[in-house]
Amino acid sequence: MEIRSDLRYTKEHEWAQNKGGIVTIGITDYAQSELGDIVFVELPEAGETCTVGGTFGVIEAVKTVADLYAPVGGEVSEVNTELNDHPELVNKDPYGKGWMIKIKASNLKELDALMDADAYKKMIES
């Protein structure tokens, strides 16, 4: 299971990567493996606002449905529309082609509250 050191993590198993104030968000390799085969991803539209800790979408697997939580607040600047036709990309490449949304963060300090790779690894092992 891959846990990348260049990302930050939430206790709900989302990952976040900041590049110049634009934060790319997806779910972790651990989360996609726990969910199983992903069949549908419901995401917001570009231009919508997310609040830190608020839900921004829903992910549906064969066995279960789970909410997606925003690790930072701000405006959705981009949505991975590829997931509409290919939700399995989240299973195949959760840190690459399976990314979900990009948020123009309103407060980058919110990233400081997230776990680093070591803390996330400890959490999922316990």
> Can you give the pLDDT at residue 116?
98
In b/e form, how buried is each residue of 78-112, taking b as 16+ CB within 10 angstroms? ebbeebeeebebbbeebbeebbbbbbebeeeebbe
- For the purposes of burial, counting CB atoms within 10 Å of the CB of 118, is it exposed (0-12), middle (13-18) or buried (19 or more)? exposed
> Can you give the pLDDT at residue 95?
98
Residue whose C-alpha is closest to residue 121's, from 40, 46, 15, 44: 15
| Per-position pLDDT tens, the chain of length 126 | 899 999 999 999 999 999 999 999 999 999 999 999 999 999 999 999 999 999 999 999 998 999 999 999 999 999 999 999 999 999 999 999 999 999 999 999 999 999 999 999 999 999
* pTM given for the model: 0.96
What domains are defined for the chain?
8-125 (2.40.50.100)
